[in-house]
Structure 1
């Protein structure tokens, strides 16, 4: 079941985001992700429209959108590679006609995931904070 984010979900979402970021972004210092935790909690999640995917045992993952920009898609490490990411992405694809996102070039599993789900690389950029190369990817439902 997918439902709208509730304030009581915040600590769980930040934990999923942090652990997922450490796993997916081994090429960035762990201290960087730790330094971003408070901003996730106070700024980024509150400014986005966030939905969570539930299982009987609790929150499996979440997706955060700012208009047509996919700001975050994170699945609890224990639930990855079981279709949860696709389920959340399809949820937003049914609500939007176009979705943009940025993904680190070195995060090859995420790049493959998005390509498999119809996204195409539009541009190669450099993340200002981490100085890492990233792709701007776009999905269009038209």
Structure 2
């Protein structure tokens, strides 16, 4: 089930954010993510966040965070990855938007490949000034109904 994040979900969502970032971005020191944890936790409380909750265990398996049409991230628990959670979250937000943008580290091959499969294209390449890592600015646009 996909639903809007509630106040009681913040701890679980923030923990997923931290764990997923440390695992997906092992090329960035873990201290970087820990150093931004409090700031991100505050931002999550203010952002538009949709969570994927398993009905069987009433546990949050992943979430997508949005700032307008910008995807701040899709994060999924390790044990739920490759099970369609990320795709379902992305499909959910695509239904209410004509375009979406995001940034992904070039070294995060799995995420970049996922976004390409989901119809995103690279607009430009740049460097994250905080980490010094190359990143891709990607965009998805709704092209209307397929005939």
Instruction: Please state whether the residue corresponding to 1:17 is helix, strand or coil.
Output: helix
The equivalent residue for 1:47 is 46
The equivalent residue for 2:10 is 10
Q: How far did residue 47 of structure 1 move? A: 3.0
Q: Aligned equivalents of 1:95 and 1:76: distance in 2? A: 25
CA contact (8 A) 2:10 2:45 kept: no
Larger Rg: 2
CA contact (8 A) 1:47 1:66 kept: no
Q: How far did residue 40 of structure 1 move? A: 1.2
Instruction: Please state whether the residue corresponding to 2:129 is helix, strand or coil.
Output: coil
CA contact (8 A) 1:99 1:138 kept: yes
CA contact (8 A) 1:73 1:85 kept: yes
Q: Please give the per-residue CA displacement for 1:90-111, whole angstroms capped at 9, x wherever unaligned.
A: 0011111000000000000000
CA contact (8 A) 2:74 2:86 kept: yes
Task: Identify unmatched segments of 5+ residues in structure 1.
Answer: none
Alignment of 1:40-79 (within 5 A): 40-42=40-42, 44-55=43-54, 56-57=56-57, 58-79=59-80
Aligned residue pair count: 141
1:27 equivalent to 2:24? Answer: no
Q: How far did residue 46 of structure 1 move? A: 2.4
- TM, length-normalised to structure 1: 0.97
CA RMSD, 1 decimal:
0.7
Q: Aligned equivalents of 2:10 and 2:47: distance in 1? A: 13
Structure 1 outlier segments of 4+, above 6 Å: none
- TM, length-normalised to structure 2: 0.94
Task: Identify unmatched segments of 5+ residues in structure 2.
Answer: none
CA contact (8 A) 1:126 1:132 kept: yes
